[in-house]
Amino acid sequence: MSATETAPAGTAAADPGERELTYLGAFNEAMFQLMRQDEDIFVAGEDVGVQGGVFGSFKGLAEEFGDRRCVDTPIAEQAIVGLGIGAAVAGLRPVVDLMFMDFVMVAMDQIANQAAKLKYMFGGKAELPLTITTNGGAGLSAAAQHSQSLEAMLCHVPGLKVVMPSSPYDLKGLMVACVRDNNPTIIVKNKRMFGSTGPVPEELYEIPLGVANVVREGADITVVAYGRMVEESAKAAKRLSEEQGIECEIVDPRTVQPLDTETIVASAKKTNRIVVVHEAVRFGGLGAEIAAQVQEEAFDYLDAPVGRIAAPFSPIPFSPGLEGHYVPNAKRISAGILETLGRPVPGA
């Protein structure tokens, strides 16, 4: 695959190679390669320079590119995003980092009222190649203000593209696509996945935004999941296949805005049953939107209501024990799949 070639639509690359990187390593490599290729790309955010980011996402960049392209900022999320908007309009290609997804709310005016709308307000004449990176998800006992999944709020704003990678391979390819896009994009890394590993090609490659990936094929039920829930869904699917002969098809949207409804609906028509899994709270989550779109386009194909597996409508607890009950896992996903299939749930 060449440096400019994209992965085949709807699939992972045919042969990503034997080399493996961690989830964070794939992101870091993408940043190095992008910044070497294009001098207009720079990074700004809290501790992204000398410290390399709170989780090490930007480690080593300051040493190679200097403090003019790795800009440490004050703790001021509105200013960070505002800096990025201004730089993007002026012709640069900024990557601005918000440490935790929860802090997106502090900068929501800049994100929703400025970045998302600027192109429309100038009749399409202004380009805004701004990438916002952040870290979401629970599982680290970071408590209620540092563990949220707020993608539904971002997806509700026209003009934004929202990306939630589920593997190191996808993270690198989707990050390249975000930075090269001439519209504001937000890429959400999942904190629990930082150390997970997977095959990642050395060359720079791009996965197109808005194209889902059929992670696992199956005939009995469709599971739509994104971010870390893809991994948990895959565990559930493996268990159900081995123990009960149930074959789940797993569809990972990868980009939750724009959403590849076509691939999701096609899978639902194939299996006739569908469940949606996400880490965000169930009420008002993307599961509801996906369920609505599926019933609008594939109602006559469904043999059961669309199932939703998500977090309860509650702040995220600090206690590891309570947090473990809060976040959906393979066991809960298995139970939700069985309920949608009308099968008995063991231990229920």
Catalytic residues: 146
| Nearest one of 267, 313, 311 to 290, comparing CA atoms | 267
Let me know: does 148 contact 99? Beta carbons within 8 Å: no
Dist CA 291 CA 268 (whole Å): 11
- DSSP result, 80-133: HHHHHHHHHHTT-EEEEEESSGGGGGGGHIIIIIIITTHHHHTTT------EEE
Both tokens of 136, joined, read: 């979401």
CA distances from 72 to 42, 80, 107, 125, 171 (A): 11, 10, 17, 31, 24
Query: 284: how many CB neighbours lie within 10 A of its CB?
Result: 13
If 0-12 CB within 10 Å is exposed, 13-18 middle and 19+ buried, where does residue 281 land? buried
Residue 315 φ then ψ, to 5°: -60, 150
Instruction: List, in order, residues 6 or more apart from 89 with CB less than 8 Å away.
Output: 118, 126, 127, 128
Q: What angle do CA 135, 136, 141 make, to 5 degrees?
A: 105
The residue type found at 136 is: G
Both tokens of 79, joined, read: 């200013």
Let me know: does 45 contact 98? Beta carbons within 8 Å: yes
Q: Cis bond leading into 165, ω under 30°?
A: no
